[in-house]
Structure 1
């Protein structure tokens, strides 16, 4: 019995594709004229080239031709194959030239980002200053840093804006991969790698340092010396008593400080 148009439209859903996406087409990369399953496959392939002058990334919006994985027909970008009628992606974006059968990701195109995102449009908003989509819970609840997502993760150095991995916004407003952030905390690193601000509440740690300093007397040669410090948390500059354990900011009471001069006796 001949398959109905609807059966043909959805033939082989989730049965074709690559490690990145389930889809029923391949793309012809306009930059090198080679055929790949998706742009990530292209970028991974070119990143391993020995000749650094041949390394390049595919611009998704530049794709003009796709090849149907069911009937092997090459054709201009469209959702439905012009030859066999199969739907080449249950989700399709004609701006990003993007296909994906796994609609459980709740893909949507953000005009401000200029690319497709996942997670459902209703769950995200676009922060124009930060330059990216963030979860609704961060609306009016994060420190804005201009174009904070258009940078590389400070830990793994992967570009954040179109990364497939989850990202997180730290208290300082800088961003990094969610897994990189937690790996950093596991290694007892509690400062932003970009601006050095504390990324979690350190008040209990500062209290323990208060107690340790009170119980630790300095040698007489250093007891009365003072030092100028810059606080990484509030950017205040103050002169404080020098102590080998740490210097406490006189403004915000943080020990996340650094000396900007040698310890000296007061005049």
Structure 2
């Protein structure tokens, strides 16, 4: 038993010595820190007593899909003890930027880190370039101070596309005109798949006027079969929220208030089909085949029309992302 304990202690001492030698080599070569932060220290996680370069390295290792769900956890970073900027033994500076409230080090001060008391975390980008919106509960670019739509706790939820928690993300975030927040890369991915509305509220997040003009032309050049010419339906506009009763059309339905085609059909009006269709008692199967053929041709033409305007729309979106400030203030 004693022999086994001695062997175990010897092995632990060897491992600690190896870790120290490896750390010294990193410091001497200047290759210290990790992909997240450049710092001259590591942390011992109070939750699992293991050593990591930073809390993000810990969370990526201990809270991933490869880990058993019962063992997944994030590091309670505020539970770290005896944290200070300089080593008590040798005096080395752990990082040129140090926040005692967040227990945070970073040697790369070009990020212009600052601590936001309202957010309770450190952010990057320079304090003078951002303001804290109390209703949204996060920091936004000063360019959005008088122009953004406030959404309560806008950042305190998951990205509607990738479901990563936005308040703690390290990725760039953009604020849509409706006020909802989303990863900038997720917005670009939506555009690559021709999705131009907010995944939360369905409002258009870019200028779609040129697309609506093309749809006007498409609707005008696509007459509906006689049986549907008097059919009326109720629609809800996703952009302005107005309810309208309009003529049914297979291509799209236009809002009577804001002229947007970003609408959804809510219900069909009573006796909305032509009464002539009922009175004549036509052969249903033959009529359906005719309607199906017309619908197929209409959808094909519509697809060609949308393909023609895609390049113009993408050019418009590219300009938008250049002009509209990206929410680059991120959690540390």
- Report if TM-score (shorter chain) is over 0.5: yes
What is the deviation of 1:266?
Answer: 4.8
- Indicate conservation of the 8 Å contact 1:143/1:173, yes or no: yes
SS in 2 for 1:188: coil
Q: How does 1:98-247 map to 2 (within 5 A)?
A: 98-247=104-253
Consecutive unaligned residues of structure 2, counting only runs of 5 or more, are 1-26, 274-332
Query: How far apart, in 2, do the equivalents of 1:60 and 1:168 lie?
Result: 27
Q: Whose Rg is larger? A: 2
With over 3 angstroms needed to count, the CA separation of the structure-2 counterparts of 1:173 and 1:125, relative to structure 1, is same
CA distance in 1, matches of 2:30, 2:269: 66
Partner Cα separation in structure 2 for residue 28 and residue 215 of structure 1: 69
Q: 1:59 aligns with which of 76, 79, 85?
A: 76
Identify the residue that residue 51 of structure 2 maps to in structure 1. 35
| Separation of aligned partners in 1, 2:204 and 2:29 | 47
Distance 1:165 1:59 in 2: 21
| Number of positions where the alignment pairs a residue of Structure 1 with one of Structure 2 | 246
> Which residue does the alignment assign to 2:102?
96
Whole-Å Cα distance in 2 between the matches of residues 140 and 31 of structure 1? 43
Q: With structure 1 as the length reference, what TM-score do the two structures score?
A: 0.88
CA contact (8 A) 1:14 1:23 kept: no
**Structure 1 residues 29 and 104 mapped into 2: Cα distance closer, same or farther (>3 Å)?**
same
Please give the alpha-carbon distance, in whole angstroms, between the structure 2 residues aligned to 1:86 and 1:50.
35
Q: Which has the higher strand share?
A: 1
Match of 2:315 in 1: none
TM-aligned CA distance change 1:108 to 1:121, over 3 Å: same
**Alpha-carbon separation, structure 2, partners of 1:36 and 1:214:** 64
Q: Residue 61 of structure 2 aligns with which residue?
A: 45
Distance 1:257 1:118, change over 3 A: same
- Displacement of 1:186: 2.0
Report the equivalent of 2:89.
83
Structure 1 pair 154–14 and aligned structure 2 pair: CA distance change class (3 A): farther
Deviation at 1:13, TM superposition (A): 9.9
Structure 1 residue aligned with 2:260, among 247, 254, 265? 254
**In 1, Cα distance between the equivalents of 2:198 and 2:170?**
22
Tell me the SS of whatever aligns to 2:226.
coil
Structure 1 residues 170 and 13: alpha-carbon distance in aligned structure 2, compared to 1, 3 A threshold: farther
Deviation at 1:31? 1.9
- Counterpart CA distance in 1 for 2:178 and 2:113 is 29
Q: Which is richer in helix?
A: 2
Structure 1 residue matching 2:228: 3-state secondary structure: coil
Q: Distance in 2 between matches of 1:222 and 1:108?
A: 62
1:80-122 superposed Cα distances (whole Å, 9 cap, x missing partner): 1000000001100011111000000000000011000000000
* Aligned-pair CA distance for 1:180: 1.1
The offset of 1:141, in angstroms, is 0.9
User: In the alignment, is the contact (CA less than 8 A) between 1:167 and 1:176 conserved in 2?
Assistant: yes
| Residue in 2 that maps onto 1:26 | 42
TM superposition shift of 1:207: 1.1
